[in-house]
């Protein structure tokens, strides 16, 4: 199970070489960060990711990165997948915060 604090600290201190991506199991992204570390672009991106991780709630973090470790019924698992997709849409800016909240309430009910 991944830890939010560990991920956030890795992102802040070693994000430029992709350490947080290796920790989260995103080896492909970790390799890209390591390869392009000399350009400092991964450092800038990881700083943005650090802010996102620092402001993300523990529940959001667990839904996104620890969903595979949580034992759920089939219906709960389906709802978690839908909620995770909604969260991704919100992060990408495809839906507003209000729309996210409305859809989340509908899923939970």
pLDDT digits 0-9 by tens, 7-45: 999 999 999 999 999 999 999 999 999 999 999 999 999
Mean pLDDT for 49-62 is 93
For the cut 80, the answer to whether the pLDDT of residue 77 exceeds it is no
Count the neighbouring beta carbons within 10 Å of the beta carbon of residue 10. Answer: 22
Mean pLDDT for 48-73 is 86
Residue of 63, 90, 57, 88 lying closest to 102 (CA atoms): 90
**Cα–Cα distance between 30 and 105 in angstroms, integer?**
35
For the cut 90, the answer to whether the pLDDT of residue 70 exceeds it is no
Q: Quote the domain boundaries for residue 109.
A: 71-109
Answer yes or no: pTM beyond 0.75. Answer: no
Statement to judge: residues 28 and 77 lie in one domain: no
> When comparing pLDDT for 55 and 107, which is higher?
55
Statement to judge: residues 26 and 77 lie in one domain: no
Statement to judge: residues 40 and 82 lie in one domain: no
């Amino acid at each position: 199970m991944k830890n939010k604090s560990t991920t956030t600290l890795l992102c802040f201190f070693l994000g430029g070489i992709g350490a947080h991506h290796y920790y989260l199991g995103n080896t492909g992204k970790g390799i890209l960060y390591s390869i392009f570390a000399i350009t400092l672009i991964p450092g800038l991106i990881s700083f943005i990711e650090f802010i996102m991780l620092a402001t993300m709630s523990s529940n959001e973090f667990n839904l996104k990165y620890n969903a595979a470790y949580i034992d759920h019924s089939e219906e709960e698992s389906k709802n978690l997948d839908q909620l995770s997709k909604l969260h991704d849409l919100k992060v990408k800016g495809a839906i507003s915060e209000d729309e996210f909240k409305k859809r989340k309430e509908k899923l939970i009910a």
